[in-house]
Amino acid sequence: MRSRFDEQLALLNKELITMGALCEEAITLASKALSEGNKETARGVVPIDTDIDQMERDIESLCMKLLLQQQPVARDLRQISAALKMVTDMERIGDQAEEIAEIISFMNKLTAVSHTQIREMEKATIKMVTDSVDAYIKKDIALAESVIEYDDVVDDCFNHVKKDLLDIIAANPKAGESALDLLMIAKYYERIGDHAVNIAEWVIFSITGNKKGREMS
Amino acid sequence: MTKRIFRSSLIVGVSVFVASVALIMGVLYHYFSDITRSQLNMQTTLAARGVENAGADFFAGMDLKDYRVTWIDTDGSVLYDSVSEPEKMENHAEREEIKQAFTKGTGESSRYSSTMMERFFYCAERLSDGTVLRLSIAQSTQLSLLMGMFQPICIVAGVAIVLSFILASRLSKKVVKPLNELNLEDPLNNEGFDELSPLFRRLKSQQRQIRSQSEELQKRQAEFETVTENMTEGIVLLNSKGTVLSINHAAARLLGAENTSVGQDILEINRSLKMQELLRESGKGKHAEKIMELGGRRYQVHASPVVSEGEVPGTVLLMLDVTEKEQAEQIRREFTANVSHELKTPLHTISGCAELLANGMVKPEDIPTFSTQIYTEAQRMICLVEDIIKLSHLDEGADAMKWEEVDLYQMAENVTESLSAESENAGVRIMLEGESTKLNGIPQLLQSIIYNLCDNAIKYNHKGGTVIVTVKQQEQTALLCVQDTGIGIPAEDQNRIFERFYRVDKSHSKEIGGTGLGLSIVKHAVKLHNAVLELDSVVGKGTTVTVKFALSDSDTASE
């Protein structure tokens, strides 16, 4: 009985890692599409997001089955409930990557964007998502905490981007539309960062049992 | 051991005890019954005499404590009873012993008395007046006898249990102690246990077998580890669930895994989608391969399923570094493209001129110009093809070429002389300095090195500039230094000028001539001589190329 439970927990673990990898792939692909200005690449995000949505449902039903059939306690219960919450955040990350890809595929004058601040935001959010999944795999509290702290970097980047785009609009009102698109993209990155923070918090919860009281910004 | 001995000795003790109790009970019971009955008879006779003599008064003075006395009239009604009221008792004429007494004079029987709920012996005797006197006594049953002996039986049983326990533990200790003290490491060396010698021999042979098997296993393991640990390719062994069974050093380094990775899921080490796809494919029993970027280098990752009896119990991941291979392939592709391009350019000129000549569209006085052009372009092609052949020879390696002792100074002198016409045309002074320096080398290649370096120094020079060629021996190295006061090479191009067909100033290549392969040949030739090439260049001031040949002992000794 117990060994079956352990097997199912291992399966849950594996599924979560796979889902994390899919999220990373989705953001990386969206970023690549943005930097290359390639609409084809952007379209590649859609099937990945579909996979992510499917995985969310699979993992949820697996968690429910575990909770009902095995009635876990203590650490196991924490792990499963954290997994339940984490898939929601991961699914949102996938959705936002898809939103970014969608904006890219509808952007009018699609020129390769060499906006350094957005580049940096991309890098920072990809790092955050990668680190939060790594923290989950390695059960690394320190890494999870560094993800939570790193959110400030992304927030700073967002403010910079906002200011820069404002200057662009002021100097050239015709560029307003694409500037607004870029602002939306930046906002989505910022949200992805927040979700990565949530994942990191759930990682800490599943290890220590303490949930940091930090409201979503 | 103790338990077993205890159990069997207890069973023996208890069963012996039970058997003897049963035996004694059986014998004693009959004995007691007989005594009781004969006593009853005697007492009945005595009482009958008493009643005959004294009548009813006998009962008043009677002293028969254990007996129940009943006097029955001739019609069966009870006249007296020592226990119950005679009026309340039923007619006794039908009782067996009474019937016997009426007919025979005496009667006997035994039965359960419904009134007293006990087994009774009855004895009746007819008196002279026809009435019957009956005496009865309760017979103690086996059960009641046994019940009476309950306490002593319990005590005996308790003693038996304790004794057999003590005995059992002592016995088992006694039996086991020498067994525990046996030298199992060397079973044949135990004395005094002849009965156990088959066991010892068996032990010994099994020990030998186990030892040889484990040695064999260790050897295999060590062999496997030596092979895999010293591989530059990464190798990972996975079971069907994707858990790492074995991972070699190279793979652990590539995947960023730690020493504790064995037993982890491969996805915990590398979760990339490519890896997942590889595992999915190999899980289906198919071979799969993908190019993955690990640690800044490109690796070809093969996933081969381990198939046994139609199932896939595991997967072998093999990681091959293909960075250099891909680079080499890239270079080869570029080279081929460049060669075709370089060969095409002169061919166009030749074909164009030849076409005009053939169609008679050239005035007779222009024919020499055209034919000269064809000639120079053909010459250029010849140079180019020669250089390409030279390079491909160099690519093949220097095995086919002859090594001999060469005087570098002598060679440099020849080269500078042969280039004097060109240098004069370019308005460049070429000077040779230094001393005779002998070294072991391949003459054609050394000639190419000096020629190409000097040729470049002249070509890429200003009018009125100088080229100084220095050949000298410095400790264990032979130095060849070509210094010019030319245009210099920009820093960003310095790394690339040794590439095939690379030119700093692409627009003027035709005017200057050359194939773009010179420095590439120099680089290869220098490499084949195990020499070091140093480049020092400042734009607008000039370039110094130094080649340092390491001299072997035989070279220095021959001087």
The full set of domain ranges for chain B reads 2-148, 190-227, 231-319, 326-381, 402-557
Residues within 8 A of A (CB atoms), B 450-509 only: none
Could you tell me which CATH number the domain at B402-557 has? 3.30.565.10
Q: What is the pLDDT of residue B218?
A: 95
CB-based contact A18 B241, cutoff 8 Å: no
Residues within 8 A of B (CB atoms), A 14-33 only: 14, 17-18, 20-22, 25
Report yes or no: A8 at the B interface, CB cutoff 8 Å: no
Using H for helix, E for strand and C for coil, what is the string for B308-346? ECCEEEEEEEEEEECHHHHHHHHHHHHHHHHHHHHHHHH
Using H for helix, E for strand and C for coil, what is the string for chain A? CHHHHHHHHHHHHHHHHHHHHHHHHHHHHHHHHHHHCCHHHHHCHHHHHHHHHHHHHHHHHHHHHHHHHHCCCHHHHHHHHHHHHHHHHHHHHHHHHHHHHHHHHHCCCCCCCCCHHHHHHHHHHHHHHHHHHHHHHHCCHHHHHHHHHHHHHHHHHHHHHHHHHHHHHHHCHHHHHHHHHHHHHHHHHHHHHHHHHHHHHHHHHHHHCCCCCCCCC
User: Can you read off the two tokens belonging to residue B103?
Assistant: 């007919």
- For chains A and B, CB pairs below 8 A equal 25
B241 neighbourhood in chain A, CB within 8 Å: 10
Q: Which residue in B has a C-alpha nearest to residue A18's C-alpha?
A: B271
Report yes or no: A133 at the B interface, CB cutoff 8 Å: yes
Report yes or no: B242 at the A interface, CB cutoff 8 Å: yes
The per-residue pLDDT string of chain A (217 residues; one tens digit each, 9 = 90 and over) reads 567 888 888 888 888 888 888 888 888 888 888 877 777 888 888 888 888 899 899 989 988 888 888 888 888 888 888 888 889 998 999 998 888 888 888 776 655 455 677 888 888 888 888 888 888 888 888 888 888 888 888 888 888 888 888 888 888 777 777 788 888 888 898 899 999 998 888 888 888 887 765 544 4
How do B429-434 and B466-474 pair as beta strands? parallel
CB-based contact A10 B273, cutoff 8 Å: no
> Between B242, B265, B273, which is nearest A25 by CB?
B273
Domain B2-148 is found in CATH 3.40.50.300: no
Q: Which residue has the tokens 């009955």?
A: B37
Q: What is the pLDDT of residue B209?
A: 94
- Is the per-residue pLDDT at B553 higher than 80? no
- Is the per-residue pLDDT at B558 higher than 50? no
Tell me if B2-148 shares its fold with B231-319.
yes
Question: Is A215 domain-assigned?
Answer: no
The nearest CA of chain A is from the CA of B552 a distance in Å of 54
Give the CA dihedral A148, A152, A157, A158, nearest 10 degrees. Answer: 90
- Is the per-residue pLDDT at B556 higher than 60? no
Domain range spanning residue A198? 2-208
B268 neighbourhood in chain A, CB within 8 Å: 17, 137-138
Q: pLDDT tens digits for B251-271?
A: 888 887 766 677 778 888 888
CB-based contact A13 B271, cutoff 8 Å: no
User: Can you read off the two tokens belonging to residue A173?
Assistant: 């009102």
ipTM: 0.73
CB-based contact A21 B272, cutoff 8 Å: yes
Question: Is A51 domain-assigned?
Answer: yes
Report yes or no: B240 at the A interface, CB cutoff 8 Å: no
The nearest CA of chain B is from the CA of A45 a distance in Å of 14
CB-based contact B273 A22, cutoff 8 Å: yes
Q: Which residue in B has a C-alpha nearest to residue A136's C-alpha?
A: B268
Question: Is A216 domain-assigned?
Answer: no
Fold of B231-319: Beta-Lactamase (3.30.450)
Domain count, chain A: 1
Q: How many beta carbons lie within 10 A of that of residue B287, not counting itself? A: 11
> Between B241, B265, B271, which is nearest A21 by CB?
B271
A137 neighbourhood in chain B, CB within 8 Å: 268, 271
Average the pLDDT over each of A178-187, B360-369, B546-555 and give the range with the smallest value: B546-555
To probe the interface with A, which of B239, B267, B271, B279 has the most A CB atoms within 10 Å?
Answer: B271
Q: Which residue in A has a C-alpha nearest to residue B258's C-alpha?
A: A138
B273 neighbourhood in chain A, CB within 8 Å: 21-22, 25
CB-based contact B267 A22, cutoff 8 Å: no
Q: What is the pLDDT of residue B140?
A: 64
> With 0-12 CB in 10 A as exposed, 13-18 as middle and 19+ as buried, what is B211?
exposed
A130 neighbourhood in chain B, CB within 8 Å: none
The nearest CA of chain A is from the CA of B517 a distance in Å of 36
- Is the per-residue pLDDT at B364 higher than 80? yes
> Between B241, B265, B276, which is nearest A21 by CB?
B276
Write the CATH number for A86: 1.20.58.220
- Is pLDDT larger for residue B138 or for residue B141? B138
